[in-house]
Amino acid sequence: MKLDSKIPAGPIEKKWDSHRFNMKLVNPANKRKYSIIVIGTGLAGASAAASLGELGYNVLAFSYHESPRRAHSIAAQGGINAPKNYANDGDSVWRLFYDTVKGGDYRAREANVYRLAQVSGSIIDQCVGQGVPFARDYAGYLDNRSFGGAQVSRTFYARGQTGQQLLLGAYSALSRQINAGTVKFFPRREMLEVVLVDGQARGVVCRDLVTGKIETYAANAVVLATGGYANTFYLSTMAKASNATAIWRAYKKGAAFANPCFTQIHPTCIPQGGDYQSKLTLMSESLRNDGRIWVPKKKGDTRRADQIPEEERDYYLERMYPSFGNLVPRDVASRRAKEMCDKGYGVGPTSLAVYLDFAESIKRLGRHVIEERYGNLFDMYHEITAEDPYKGPMRIYPAVHYTMGGLWVDYNLMSTIPGLFVLGEANFSDHGANRLGASALMQGLADGYFVIPYTMGDYLASTKFKPVKVDDAPFVEAQGGIEGLIKKLMSINGKKTVEEFHRELGKIMWDNVGMGRNRAGLEKALKEIPKLREEFWKNVKLVGESNDMNAELERAGRVADFLELGELLAFDALHREESCGGHFREEHHTEEGEAQRNDKKFSYVAAWEFTGVGKKPILNKEPLKFEYVKPSQRSYK
């Protein structure tokens, strides 16, 4: 496989502009002759489908939800970055670019990150135009707040519901196109296969989740905007249905999978309670603006928080990182929390938690200010734990939250399969080894509103298409394959539920491929995952019928894919003999316990190529060149 990133020539600040000029255009009258399939209608998918529809293409949009408004983008809380410099604190496109490359621990592609920073301002304009009710000051102008990994205030927010408001904005734009007839929306459809014709992505196989019917659809190009794969870990902050099936099946059809081991562990989540728990709940990073993180100075201190005097508390982030304090990037904050708990300073019933304390902010700003900024988060915490965070500190612990890895894409967001584009969290592109807070919403919308509308046109205008129909052989074969797979799953009739398999996989992943990784643990995972997968295909128990609504069958297919993806994730983590961002190999750290990169050997994107289930994938490398941001040891001291 040859990787061509197609980064345009020229100085970085001119690349996107000159590329836009050089790209071919589709004549307005010809646009409706092209069909585009968009899978997933979260932030990236909905914004892409709406924008492509506005341009006049014939768009077919699919979601396994009943409505685009249910996508998990809706749960993003804290905000979205843009270097508007409204705070007059020295922000610029260059600074956002620099912060993002550095925050990603020098494992992202410079040209993509620069473009992301460049278009991010237009996203805010777009969202305001749609009526997104961002927070404002008393003069009626937009308000900003700070986020981890940055020393400027560039985060726009709508209370603690920014993702909801941005998704509803994209959903409204999409709804408008559905009404106009340029987009046809297919609810409750799950994509199960990409159909290739002469090597080009020309369609998909879907299952209608209400009737169980297997359907095929043809188009000129396919866009995957199906989110990340954090649910490989079972317990994560993802929605229950979030899955990797679309990108995984594309990988098995020849799309390279890049940097699967780059997973993000979010530092501020509500700690796990018991075995019944079905997911973990995030508490927005924005809380670190006004909350102070601490543990008792004494190991195994079981006193209540309010009984531990000030001088016996260790505000360890403020102590270790005086310049960034509680606002260090996520990977650093998570690792330090784990370290504190591992050393015996953890608090709460499980000792797997640290305090996030608002007492001082409430005293300084007044309860009403804290309520206005974080009210819904405080309520959520109260509901889940039955403890009132206005009265005592929250207990928090890191949890799997986001995946920086994903399908490899070039500068045009096209995968290694011609005609298969990948947007948002589903691709690998912009965050390197660690994503900064408030950058996921930014990337999803940048891809959907301001990148794909141009690059898709270029692909369509410069590609020859042979006419295809859904009764052509490649479609019929792909459909047959999926029907066979479903039949096989339904016929195993073993003893263990899908839920049990998923939990077991999650435990292997968290224990061995989680926050701290080492050779022995990764090798153990690489033995245990295939064993569990083998057992799954002999012993999984499904009930109900395949031609009916069947949640167990839906999950079985997704877990089957996680059982393969988990192996690739561990394999990638084992191969990357360095620590960078969210990938922390315990063998590689500085004296101060920070991640130690090995730029000589690992300054590349690892793009894996499928060779068969359980077989060693082929490693393809895209070397990373840093011409503008010189890689250095990341320091937040």
Return the active site residues: 330
Output 454 or 626, the one with its CB closest to other proteins: 454
Smallest distance from the beta carbon of 489 to other proteins, in angstroms? 14
Q: Which two tokens stand for residue 509?
A: 């992943």
Query: Is 490 in contact with 222 (CB distance < 8 Å)?
Result: no
Residue 370 carries which DSSP code?
H
Shortest gap between Cβ of 139 and other proteins (angstroms)? Answer: 7
- Show the tokens assigned to 610: 């499928």
Q: How far is the CB of 204 from other proteins (least distance, A)?
A: 21
Residue 450 DSSP class = I
Kindly provide the residue ranges of all beta strands, DSSP E only, lying in 404-455, ordered along the sequence. Answer: 406-407, 420-422
Q: Are strands 214-218 and 200-208 parallel, antiparallel or unpaired?
A: antiparallel
Nearer to other proteins by Cβ, of 380 and 574: the residue is 380
Quote the strand ranges of 321-475, DSSP E. 354-357, 394-403, 406-407, 420-422
Contact, 444 vs 437, CB < 8 A? no
Residue number with CB closer to other proteins (124 or 287): 124
CA 559 to chain centroid: 18
Min dist. Cβ of residue 137 to other proteins (A): 7
Instruction: Output the smallest distance, CB 282 to other proteins, in A.
Output: 8
d(CA 573, CA 260): 8
Q: Which two tokens stand for residue 238?
A: 């993802």
DSSP state of 299: T
Considering beta carbons, is residue 225 or 569 the nearer one to other proteins?
A: 225
Least CB distance to other proteins at residue 378 (A): 12
DSSP state of 276: T
**Cβ proximity to other proteins, 49 vs 218, nearer residue:** 49
Task: For other proteins, give the closer residue by CB, 274 or 467.
Answer: 274
Of residues 56 and 516, the one with the C-beta less far from other proteins: 56
Nearer to other proteins, 137 or 586 (CB): 137
| CA dist., res. 244 & res. 248, Å (int) | 6
The amino acid that residue 86 corresponds to is: Y
Nearest approach, Cβ of 481 to other proteins (angstroms)? 26
Looking at beta carbons only, is 196 or 505 nearer to other proteins?
Answer: 505
Distance CA 365, CA 499 (A): 46
Output the smallest distance, CB 260 to other proteins, in A: 24
φ/ψ (deg, to 5) at 164: -60, -50
Cα–Cα distance measured from residue 226 to residue 433, given in angstroms and rounded to the nearest whole number: 20
Report which of 566, 257, 554 is spatially closest to residue 422, judged by C-alpha positions.
257
DSSP 511-525: HHHSSSB-HHHHHHH
Query: In the complex with other proteins, which residue's Cβ is closer, 21 or 141?
Result: 141
Length of the chain: 637
Q: Biggest alpha carbon distance in the chain? A: 75
Here the tokens at position 52 are: 């492509």
Residue type, 285: E
Q: How far is the CB of 242 from other proteins (least distance, A)?
A: 8
Give Cβ neighbours of residue 113 (< 8 Å, ≥ 6 apart): 97, 100, 101, 104, 430
Q: Minimum Å distance from CB 411 to other proteins?
A: 20
Distance CA 524, CA 634 (A): 31
Pairing relation of β-strands 35-39 and 263-269? unpaired
Among 113, 198, 122, 126, residue whose Cα is nearest residue 165: 126
d(CA 45, CA 177): 13
Residue 497 φ/ψ region, left for φ over 0, alpha for ψ in the -120 to 50 degree band, beta for the rest: beta
Residue 62 near residue 189, CB atoms below 8 Å: yes
- Which 8-state DSSP code applies to residue 616? P
